[in-house]
Amino acid sequence: MRPISLYWFRRDLRLNDSPALAAAAAAGDVVGVFVLDDTLLAPAGATRRTYLAATLESLDRSMGGALCVRQGDPASVLASLAREVGASALYATADFAPYGRARDERVASALSAQGVASFFVDSPYAVAPGLVRTPGGDPYRVFTPFRRSWERHEVSRASGAVVLGWRSAPGESPTAVERFGGTRRPWYFADLDDAPAIVGAVGEADALDRLERFAALAGSYATLRNRPDLDATSRLSAFLHFGVLHPRQVLELVGEESFVAEIAWREFYGDVLFHRPDSARESLLDISARLLVDRDDAAARRFQRWARGETGFPLVDAGMRQLLAEGWMHNRVRMVVASFLVKHLHLDWRWGARWFMWRLVDGDLASNQHGWQWCAGVGTDAAPFHRIFNPTLQSQRFDPEGTYVRRYVRELADVAAPDIHEPGARGRSARYPAPMIDLAAERREALARWSLARS
């Protein structure tokens, strides 16, 4: 009789190019399992849980209905399942995030106590965190030298699908993920709706199709990537976050330099989090502790107007409404709305980061937290604090005809450029809110607070 192994799906929800799954298949028959872990689901709102459920359903279909979904503490769940099916080993793709590393140690210990070996293989990154080092052996703190060193590391070639006959075990429906989590709502979310966004393309077939289509058009990425009115970016971030695609699959097809740099940024942030797990919650720069931010009830009301897309600044509102409608936002607009929250509304970057993690389908801890710190001027490779995005100028430059704004701010559907870029859209629509702040005054206030923090 062939030995049985558990394959624990995490951020690798695919059957193609999966060295860990291939190792499990080589060892014998396989039971595939996904664990609904409340620690990971609690910060996820309805949109991300809905997207994850749809992705798991797609994976389950590709496995012939054999995916076992269970809920609870992973150490207890996997130890129980191993006894139930008579598994002698567990295989999984290695996790390099702070919680994932500690959890995997607990799982391995629980399984070892009953004679089950654990094997953590490969990485969700092209180059595993911790491998890219300075000549002196230290981690990099700045992106550009990290990228140069990262590019010198050899990336293994992507492999094909792992074909195997799955062993089945009873469990929940993949859609059970929608019933769990979403419990970690901070007080400043109090009056915000959590209706799920419309879920778009999900699963491995859609991911590979999107990758191939983007690869054919990637030559225009460098010149058009900052235009939110155009479909000029890859839209692969959710697939990469859940491991429906591996970055080596992407790099093998897309070699466009500015796009490779974006993959390198993702890998850099994963490396920073690996070395500095505290940066998931705390700013990398000490000055952040001295920077005055608002945290009272009035601040919460300003946050909620921002989150609903009711600031009176068209590009900011379009981005926030895109997030509500689609669980995604164009990267240029992410920088604008983040700058607006931190430097014009004087709120803590962590408030915005938590809202993004709540609503985004591609809510990746390392990329999200460090991207927010970059915008706030308090992280690795931080933009200078005095770089404060003006949403009106950004709208004029990157959405010249107002197409993106009209797509998401329906009150402005009949307003033409250049008026559509103006705060309050110059009163052209009685239904659109007046601007909630004076940009110039709040810019001066932000710089004054920064100067005080430095002194």
Where does 148-197 show beta strands of DSSP type E? 166-167
CA–CA separation, 415 vs 428, rounded Å? 7
CA–CA separation, 330 vs 232, rounded Å? 10
H or E stretch covering 7 = strand 4-9
Q: How many helices (H) and strands (E) does the chain have?
A: 19, 6
435 contacts 424 by C-beta, under 8 angstroms: yes
CA–CA separation, 318 vs 320, rounded Å? 6
| Domains, the chain | 1-122 (3.40.50.620), 124-158+203-275 (1.25.40.80), 277-454 (1.10.579.10)
CA atoms within 13 A on the CB side of 81: 31
Q: Quick check: bond before 418 cis, omega within 30?
A: yes
Q: What is the pLDDT tens value at each position of the chain, 455 positions in all?
A: 799 999 999 999 999 999 999 999 999 999 999 999 999 999 999 999 999 999 999 999 999 999 999 999 999 999 999 999 999 999 999 999 999 999 999 999 999 999 999 999 999 999 999 999 999 999 999 999 999 999 999 998 889 888 788 999 999 999 999 988 888 899 999 999 999 998 889 999 999 999 999 999 999 999 999 999 999 999 999 999 999 999 999 999 999 999 999 999 999 999 999 999 999 999 999 999 999 999 999 999 999 999 999 999 999 999 999 999 999 999 999 999 999 999 999 999 999 999 999 999 999 999 999 999 999 999 987 668 888 999 999 999 999 999 999 999 999 999 999 999 999 876 666 689 999 999 999 999 999 999 999 98
Tokens at 365, concatenated: 């801890």
CA–CA separation, 225 vs 234, rounded Å? 9
CA–CA separation, 250 vs 240, rounded Å? 9
